[in-house]
Every structure is written in structure tokens, then in C-alpha cells.
Amino acid sequence: MEVSELYARGLQRRKALFGEADVEERMSAAGEFGAPLQNIINSYVYGDVWERTGLSNEIRSLIMLAITAASNKPAEFRVHAKGALANGCSREQIQDLLLLIAMYCGVPAAIETNRIAAEIFGQSSPPDIMEIT
């Protein structure tokens, strides 16, 4: 498959997961400088890897949540949490995943992502400055 086809397929999947406005915002955030990275993301991450059939989209989303939570990437966790909902992941699945993160990666790795998940599920509003530990 040609790269242009991978790009188009990946962009379509990415917009279906995260919404057109969010994808356009992320793609334009770094301007012309970031265009090569966005090409890689669209073509290879979403146009190739996310199109493979070995894992369901739901499992892929749960894996992405685990990776981003465990590696302390809350901004990426937020993006992929919205995608996980689009892929049919449940509140309980995400809650259980974050409990595993807390047990195996440490409570600090799960605190911010728990707040984000609670916000996305409408369970709480984002905290002001107060840290919960």
C-alpha cells in the first residue's frame, strides 16, 4: 500500500476515534515544523498499526491507556480515553486498568489519570490546584 493511501486511511480512523476538530487541532499545533511527525502518525500509527486485525480496537485502546498512564503521559491519556470510549471501552474496564497501574506502577502513576477518567465519565470536575495523594 502506498504511503498516501496509509495517510488517508489513518486520518479517517484518527478522526473517527477522536473527532475531526480535535485531530485538526493536534495536527496544526506545531505548524509546518510538526507536519512530518503528523504524517508519520497518520500513515503508520493509525493507517497501518491501528488497521491490523490481531487486536480489537477496544483492546488497542485499553493498551494505549495502560501505556500512557504507566509512562505518566496524562495529556496523551486524555486523548486516548476519549478514543477508548469511541471504541466501546466501559467505565469499569478503565477503572480496573487504572487499579492495575496503581498496583504495578505505583499510586502516583494512577492519580492524574484517575482524575482525567473521572472527568471524562462525568464523575467530577477538574481539580483546581489541590493535589490528591
Tens-digit pLDDT profile for residues 13-40: 999 999 999 999 999 998 999 999 999 9
Long-range contacts of 46-53 (CB under 8 A, 24+ apart): 46/9, 46/10, 46/11, 46/13, 46/14, 46/17, 47/5, 47/6, 47/7, 47/8, 47/9, 47/10, 47/11, 47/13, 48/6, 48/10, 50/10, 50/13, 51/9, 51/10, 51/13
Averaged pLDDT, 98-112: 95
Averaged pLDDT, 80-103: 95
Do 113 and 78 reside in the same domain of the chain? yes
Do 84 and 128 reside in the same domain of the chain? yes
Do 66 and 117 reside in the same domain of the chain? yes
Q: How confident is the model at residue 131 (pLDDT cuts 50, 70, 90)?
A: very low
Residue 66: all three cell numbers together: 495502560
Provide the residue range defining the domain that includes 30. Answer: 1-52
* Residue 53 predicted with pLDDT over 60: yes
Residue 27: all three cell numbers together: 495536527
Q: What is the pTM of this model?
A: 0.85
